[in-house]
Amino acid sequence: MLDYTAIDFETANAYRGSPCAVGLVRVRNGQPVDEQRWLIRPPTRVDYFDAFNSTLHGIDAEMVREAPRWNVVLQAIVEYIGDDVVVAHNAGFDIGVIRYACAVDNTEWPELRFLCTMVMARRALSLPSYRLPYVAESCGFTMGDHHDPLADAHGVVGIVRALAREAGASDLSELASAHRMSIGRMGSGVYAGSVAVGTGSRNFTPIVVNPDADQDGYLYGRVVVFTGTLMSMTRDVARQECARVGAVPEQNTTKKTNVLVVGDINPAVLRPDSNVTGKTRKAFDLQDKGRAIEVMTEDDFLRCLDGKALTVIEGLLAEEGEATPPAAPTRDRFRSVPLDERPVPAPPKPPRPLRRERVPTDQVCSADGCNELAAFKTRSKPTYCDGHIEVILRVGGLEPLESFTRTTDWLLTRCLHCGNVAHYRFEYVQEKNGWKEATCRACYWREWACSERELQGSYARITPVSYEKAQGIAEENGFIYLGPLTTPSMPSDPHRTECRRCGKISAERLGDISFGCTCQPR
């Protein structure tokens, strides 16, 4: 039977592990029978709210001031779920909230199985967007308030019901199988996503161990095995780096193994009785039999590549008596580039905020016959009140989703024609209005790409760009990939992204995405 629990999280800020609310719906035989919604105080180290997030879901610090902390709510969530499979729309995000919140709280991951309706929708439906409201509408129902966690969880229930009916599936296993998907799994140290099932192969560069490596190096002469996904480099580059420092990389854990490097695993649970990967389990079993196998995290491995022994503790004490664990490695855009060929980055400057405080003025709106106070002051150019600013935005085909601050600040808007949500500067809208051109870049690039293909005729590139390829380009250049803006997505068609650094949402072509966000230092 279709028995499961639907879940949706909202977060306080850009850090994924900052839950501030959760919605849960218990489903039996395809029908919701119970629901819960909890506000959450995020983990202490990430207990702050970004204005952008609060604008989306309407939750702020004052609303969660008396709410229980994450570690308390986590126990309630796990008890509520019980033995159910958890279903979420974009499970990579929602399950990621749990993983990252536990990591920043130094708490073990709970045991969960999960299924992703976003991945399933991409397998089953052809849509211009796979965001929750679009998928819900395509399944024949209208959601409640998007970004209310309980309403979103009910949206997941509706999608499962529609896709199960279409596939003739009577339980989640049949439903996943019908769409060639796996049910994901998370345990106290192991994570396997709910993804499309396919075949693939690994191509590794031949290994030549460096005969001139420093024999005093920490890894010299050791046999090293990797398990899990490394964030700082690909598996192939990691093997080459081992060879460079005189270590011997191998595929599987054996009696010859000296070091096991674990990636994408919560270091708080690396102990022999944990539920871990097969390679890690075998390493623990060999340890129990007296074999000298060292299990280290990716951070440990990177320090060893730098020639530092693990007995050297650097930067772990924030204040006397207070230990702070090193930050987990983040996915590097140069993962496939050997370490000695990577450029040395300069210390990054913090990005300019998208929005600043509004500056009061006693100037009057420049629109004819308007005596309202202006929203911004100026010396030589016209200025406008809030009402006329909204009129100018509507001339540009936009409606504002947040209050106006300054002409050069980024304002979150929605296109009145296609519904795309993106940031634009007010002065940019004014410029486009002067050219009699709509502001929305999603509309503009869609039309431009279509015209380009018509002009090129039989020479036009019409091979669709895969979701995975577009996502890879976006992530390699510092963006969160929010999806294509056409179906199918052709070369030169636009895509929607969010900058990981400044939070700006844009509609861009892949060639423009490859240059990175304008907030990135050049």
For residue 315, is it left (φ>0), alpha (ψ between -120 and 50) or beta? left
Residues 233, 181 share a domain: no
pLDDT category of residue 198 using cuts at 50, 70 and 90: low
Q: Greater confidence, 190 or 86?
A: 86
Q: Exposed, middle or buried, 12 (CB in 10 Å: 0-12/13-18/19+)?
A: buried
Q: Is residue 312 part of a domain?
A: yes
The answer for residues whose C-beta is within 8 angstroms of residue 35's C-beta and 6 or more apart is 23, 24, 25, 26, 150, 153, 154
Number of domains in the chain: 3
Single-letter code of the amino acid located at 167: A
d(CA 506, CA 439): 12
- pLDDT, residue 313, reads 37
Would you say residue 433 lies in a domain?
A: no
Would you state the pLDDT for residue 475?
Answer: 86
For tokens 């050219």, the residue is: 435
Question: CATH number for the domain including 104?
Answer: 3.30.420.10
Domain hosting 315: range is 223-341
Q: Evaluate whether residue 487 is within a structural domain.
A: yes
User: Which of the residue ranges 26-35, 181-190, 204-213 would you say has the lowest mean pLDDT?
Assistant: 204-213
Least confident segment among 155-164, 378-387, 407-416, 450-459: 450-459
CB 468 within 8 A of CB 115: no
Flag whether pLDDT at 451 surpasses 90: no
Helix or strand or coil: residue 239?
Answer: helix
Q: pLDDT of 484-507, one tens digit each?
A: 999 999 988 999 999 988 899 999
- pLDDT (mean) for 92-111: 88
Helix (H), strand (E) at residue 51: helix 51-57
- Same domain? For 163 and 241 the reply is no
Put simply, whether the predicted model's pTM sits higher than 0.75 gets the answer no
Q: Which of 289, 307, 341 is the last residue of a domain?
A: 341
Segment 238-278, tens digit of pLDDT: 888 888 888 888 888 788 888 888 776 554 455 545 555 56
Please check whether residues 37 and 84 belong to one and the same domain: yes
Report the C-alpha gap between 248 and 142 in whole angstroms: 57
Domain membership of residue 182 (yes or no) is yes
Please check whether residues 12 and 80 belong to one and the same domain.
Answer: yes
Residue-wise pLDDT tens digits, 211-223: 778 877 888 888 8
Q: Is 412 contained in some domain? A: no
- Token pair listed for 58: 């309407």
369: left (phi over 0), alpha (psi -120 to 50) or beta: left
In a domain, 137, yes or no: yes
Buried b (16+ CB within 10 A) or exposed e, 69-93: ebeebbeebeebbeebbbbbbbbbb
User: In the predicted model, is pLDDT for residue 399 greater than 50?
Assistant: yes
Q: Which residues of 258-297 are buried (b: 16+ CB within 10 A; e: fewer)?
A: bbbbbbbbbbbbbeeebbbbebbbbbbebeeeeeebbbbb
For residues 174 and 95, membership in a common domain is answered with yes
Specify if 349 maps to a domain: no
**Residue 242 and residue 134 share a domain:** no
**Is 315 a residue whose pLDDT tops 90?**
no
Is residue 35 within 8 A of residue 144, CB to CB? The reply is no
pLDDT in tens, 454-486: 877 777 778 899 998 899 889 888 899 999 999
Would the CA dihedral through 271, 274, 276, 281 be positive or negative? positive
Q: How far is CA 409 from CA 358, 384, 405, 412, 504, in A?
A: 10, 15, 7, 10, 11
**162 and 303 inside one domain:** no
pLDDT tens for 85-100 read: 999 998 888 998 998 8
**What does the pLDDT look like over 2-20, one tens digit per residue?**
999 999 999 998 888 899 9
Confidence of residue 413 (pLDDT cuts 50, 70, 90): very high
**Which class for 108: exposed (0-12), middle (13-18), buried (19 or more C-beta within 10 A)?**
middle
| Same-domain pairing of 181 and 227 | no
Structure tokens at 303: 């320090």
Q: Is the pLDDT reported for residue 323 higher than 50?
A: no
CATH number at residue 318: 3.40.50.10190
The predicted pLDDT at position 199 comes to 41
Q: State the residue for tokens 């039989």.
A: 458
Mark which of 192, 207, 242 sits at the end of a domain.
Answer: 192
Yes or no: say if 195 and 95 are a contact pair by the CB < 8 Å rule. no
Q: Could you give the percent of the chain with pLDDT greater than 90?
A: 44
Higher pLDDT, residue 418 or 220: 418
pLDDT, residue 505, reads 94
Choice between 191 and 41, residue whose per-residue pLDDT is larger = 41
Rounded Cα distance, 97 and 92, in Å:
9
State the Cα–Cα distance between residues 280 and 262, nearest whole angstrom.
8
Answer yes or no: is 384 within a domain: no
Residues 121 and 256 in one domain: no
Q: Is the domain of 28 the same as that of 149?
A: yes
Alpha helices in 106-188 (DSSP H): 117-124, 132-138, 149-167, 172-178
54 forms bridges with which residues in the sheet? none
In whole angstroms, what is the distance from residue 276 CA to residue 29 CA?
32
Average pLDDT for 373-400: 94
Q: Are residues 63 and 154 in the same domain?
A: yes
Domain boundary pick from 279, 309, 341: 341
- 178 & 242 share domain: no
Residue 73 scores a pLDDT above 80: yes
For the segment 323-327, the average pLDDT, to the nearest whole number, is 42
